[in-house]
Amino acid sequence: MKRSKFCYFNQSNFIMTNAIFLSLSVDTNAPEPLFQQIYEGLSQLIITGKLESGARLPATRTFAGELGVSRSTVVTAYDQLIAEGYGEARAGAGIFVCDVGAFTALGKPHKSVILKPSQPSPERPRYFEPGIPDMRLFPYEAWGRHVSRSARSATREIITTSDKFGNMRLRQAIASHLSEWRGIEAAPEQILVTAGAGNALEIAMRALTKPGQVIALEDPGYAPMRRVAMSLGLSPLWMKVGEQGAECPKKFDVAPILTILTPSHQFPLGGAMPTGQRNRFLAFAEETGGWIIEDDFDSEFRYAGRPIPALAALDHIQRVIYIGTFSKIFSSGLRLGYMVVPEKLLSVFGQILRDFGVSTSIAPQLPLATFMEDGEFHRHIRRMRRTYGARQRTFVELLHSELGQMASHKNHLAGMQIALELPKNTNDVAISKEAEVQNLICPPLSAFYAGNHGQPGLLMGYSSISQEEMLVPLQILAKIIRKYRG
């Protein structure tokens, strides 16, 4: 194998000796996270040819020690290099530089390997915002190639479509994904592409309910869902959330026509509904003639054990409408989601689309289909699951060290956020508002409850910030919480 003249490793102990890597540095006071500084420094070396194709990158543990950062920070930077096509992983051998072709350097060469912005970004970082992916880790280069390919080879398909259910290639790719990852066997014809999960929920509610009918909702639950139900004139039946998730309705005057659940990762409290409870809801739907919507918003991010099969995978009576989204697991700006519609409801949902129109963007559907077909989507999810898992572990450790006995939480080892519980009578709304002034975006937990009985707390996300970015804002939040605890 050709060895880069810039890179040498002692194979006996993997000690990094080459000056080109030792010249790399990170600035802990810079606005960019450490993993991004490392990624930009290495990618610049590759673009300028200082690291040649086939060069082996330092072992993550060795490189982390040289830079004075955590190993997970280097792993995240390497993952981004791979995602952007600058590097490739070879089983049992390490990470190697890819042939990226010739690049023309613009302007004078930088003295420093690490690129710094010429002026500060106009946007301040938003810390702890729940349910937001880290778009700094988005595989922009790979996505751009698929967009470009689609624009060149299938211009008509990214501009117009005659099928209101969406691009058929994307629906086929989604069906394959659901079979592999969620245990759901569905025909592509059952897949309806939507403008995100919110749009899917509204379509389903319009298709399955009439004003005045009863709808069963989790309490606490997703607030926008409650607002959509109210706007459609539906009467809510609140299902209390306990240790086994939502409690199946037992006493009611009128049976709900529709029940909406988040069984794989309850929102906002977290936790998965056990199989026995899922079967009780399926039996309840069959008994009452009602329908179930399964909102499966981030189930791909489970950090321990096997992924939990979807409720729809247990549905042999065709009573479950499954909803998924790309906004949380892939891109917050893509605004694409989907649902699996039971065969006997396809005509009903089709009529809703004809009556109210289609709001789903056509342009990204074919690029997303080819992105999934080529395996890029699954590779990205696996990278993000590894990265978010490391961030979740660090976040939990910092919650213990910085907040101590002031707050509690349950670690469900899943998702993109944690529900932090505060003592009774704590004004979590005031804490949330004051935190937002500091760009700490932690919605009050009590706001997710239907009445005034809600548990005080904060819903805190960890997926969009690196481990190095967590400590200082968490210390600021701790001061705010102490203030309202007296």
Rounded to the nearest integer, the mean pLDDT of the chain is 87
Mean pLDDT, range 170-177, rounded to an integer: 98
- Between CA 79 and CA 65 the distance in angstroms is 18
* Tokens linked to 101: 């072709």
The whole-number pLDDT of residue 289 equals 96
Q: Which tens digit of pLDDT belongs to each residue from 102-120? A: 443 333 344 444 444 444 4
Amino acid at 225: M
- Digit-coded pLDDT (tens) for 248-264: 998 888 999 999 999 99
CATH architecture of 19-123: Orthogonal Bundle (1.10)
pLDDT at 62: 80
Contact (Cβ atoms closer than 8 angstroms) between residue 256 and residue 224: no
pLDDT at site 90: 85
pLDDT of residue 353: 96
Whether residue 200 contacts residue 181, with contact meaning beta carbons closer than 8 Å, is answered with: no
Domain ranges across the chain:
19-123, 142-377, 386-485
**Which is higher by pLDDT, 182 or 101?**
182
Prior bond to 117 cis, omega within 30? no
β 87-90/191-194 pair status: unpaired
With CA atoms as reference, report the closest residue to 293 among 382, 221, 347: 221
Nearest to 486 by CA among 426, 413, 410: 426
- Roughly what angle, to the nearest 10 degrees, separates helices 34-47 and 71-83? 40
Q: Name the 3-class secondary structure at 35.
A: helix
Query: 9 - beta bridge partners?
Result: 16
Pairing of strands 245-246, 258-261: unpaired
State residue 442's pLDDT score. Answer: 97
Residues 372, 375, 377, CA angle at the centre, nearest 5°?
Answer: 55
What whole-number distance in Å separates Cα of residue 197 and Cα of residue 419? 21
Report whether 247 contacts 281 (CB < 8 A): no
SS3 469: helix
DSSP structure class, residue 138 = S
Q: How far is CA 362 from CA 87, 183, 438, in A?
A: 32, 27, 38
Q: What is the pLDDT of residue 475?
A: 97
Query: Is residue 238 predicted with pLDDT exceeding 90?
Result: yes
CATH architecture of the domain with range 142-377 = 3-Layer(aba) Sandwich (3.40)
For residues 184 and 177, is the Cβ–Cβ distance under 8 A? no
pLDDT band at 195 (very low <50, low <70, confident <90, very high): very high
- Segment 349-377 mean pLDDT: 95
CA distance 365 to 45: 34
CA atoms within a 13 Å half-sphere pointing along the CA-CB vector of 314: 19
Partnered with residue 419 across adjacent β-strands are: 459
* pLDDT-derived band at 23, boundaries 50, 70, 90: low
Among 464, 446, 468, 460, residue whose Cα is nearest residue 403 = 460
Tell me the pTM. Answer: 0.79
Residue 142 has pLDDT above 80, yes or no: yes
| C-alpha–C-alpha distance, residues 328 and 291, integer Å | 25
Residue 357 CB contacts under 8 Å (≥ 6 apart), including other chains: none
Q: How many CA atoms lie less than 13 Å away from 259 in the CB half-sphere?
A: 28
Class of domain 386-485: alpha beta
Phi and psi torsions of 287, nearest 5° = -65, -40
pLDDT for residue 143: 95
Question: Cα–Cα distance between 47 and 87 in angstroms, integer?
Answer: 12
- Secondary structure (3-state) at 432: helix
Q: Using the structure block, give the residue that is written with the tokens 């390919």.
A: 149
